[in-house]
Structure 1
Amino acid sequence: MNSVAYLPLFAASVGTKRTTVFSNKRKIQPIRSMRAVVQRVASASVEVDGRTVSEIGPGLLVLVGLHDSDSESDAEYICRKVLNMRLFPNQSTGKAWDLNVMQKNYEVLLVSQFTLYGMLKGNKPDFHVAMPPQRAKPFYASVVERFGKYYTPDAIKDGVFGAMMKVNLVNDGPVTMQIESQPSKNMVEASEGS
């Protein structure tokens, strides 16, 4: 007899698969999407081997996690969403959440971070759902290129793929948002209801 796990509404890790429950008493669905953690910063920089390789002033620091099943449509969604997120205040209108990074002419620092798809097996992290490095490196390069295409290449900076990096930042706010290229159904329903 097959058994299906049912859980109350929340995100959970079950066994070795990352899962999300969409609502009470529904079958658990796997998460398959590109993930980004977006932070509004006064400044940010990346160091590799004691040398600064990228730095920005005011703008966005974006940690990018690539899932094994990500495609160009996931990259497209994340790129457009990040560049259009209204995370900056408008001094002339007094609105706190009014302008995006492009309207402010600020910069974006992208940092590849496969650990966004880490799960704990006991006390040890496991990254098997992250895109393997041999595919992730060219895919991530295409993500960086896409950001430059939609904004301006000079405003897009990135770290060094696969390197051990020290990421320094001064949070502004702090403002931190996590987005996924394929939001779960309950998040979509919540945003449609507001």
Structure 2
Amino acid sequence: MRAVVQRVAEAAVVVDGECVGSIDGPGLCVLVGVTHEDTPAKAAQLARKLWTLRLFDPETGETGEAAGGSGGERSCSDFGAPLLVISQFTLYGDARKGRRPTWNAAAPGPVAEPLVDAVVAELRALGAKVETGRFGADMKVSLVNDGPFTVLLEV
């Protein structure tokens, strides 16, 4: 599994003009991609990593200048920061050859959707407030990336 993690002040996802998920930060906006070899165990591992990743200011949980513009000593689990988790098969796009990406490494929907759902379920079981996008939908994602701060995770 692959995740692009963005520390945000706020984030939202809209489908067909309807807001289906939003968070007010500080929090994390997480784009999750699934490949063919991924398993429920990897989904649980990714969830635990997201919940405990130390990206926030040690004193306030704030981001940006208060955190020195970089990672900190507190994680979402330390102060209940929300997460917006959005499936994104394009994280496994490969454009090394030619000008058109291939998607061969991305798992098909029937494989990927339950694993993205498993990440969300495990985060919630850990105590996280989690909002989501809608799997397979044409989503419009907006966010205020605080820092900016973006991390790529692979499990």
Is TM more than 0.5 here? Answer: yes
Matched, 1:109 2:84: yes
**Residue 170 in structure 1 maps to residue 144 in structure 2:** yes
Q: Given the alignment, which residue of 14, 31, 39 partners 1:63?
A: 31
State the AA in 1 paired with 2:43: A
What is the match of residue 150 of structure 1?
A: 126
Greater mean alpha carbon deviation, residues 61-70 or residues 135-144: 135-144
Cα deviation digits, residues 52-72 of structure 1 (max 9, x gap): 111000100000010111012
Unmatched tracts of structure 1, length 5 or more: 1-33, 182-194
2:101 counterpart SS class: strand
Moved more, 121-130 or 37-46: 121-130
Pairwise CA distance, 1:147: 1.1
Cα distance, 1:150 vs. partner?
Answer: 1.2
CA distance in 1, matches of 2:42, 2:9: 28
How far did residue 95 of structure 1 move?
7.0
TM-score, normalised by the number of residues in structure 1: 0.71
Question: What is the distance in 1 between the residues matched to 2:10 and 2:67?
Answer: 22
5+ residue gaps, structure 2, are 61-65
Q: What is the root-mean-square deviation in Å for CA atoms of aligned residues? A: 1.5
Q: Which has the higher contact order (CA 8 A, sep 6+)?
A: 2
- Alignment of 1:87 with 2:60, yes or no, is no
- Which residue of 14, 17, 41 maps to 1:73? 41
Q: Distance in 2 between matches of 1:166 and 1:132?
A: 21
1:1-194, aligned counterparts within 5 Å? 34-58=1-25, 59-91=27-59, 97-120=72-95, 121-152=97-128, 155-181=129-155
In 1: Cα distance, 2:59 partner to 2:109 partner: 43
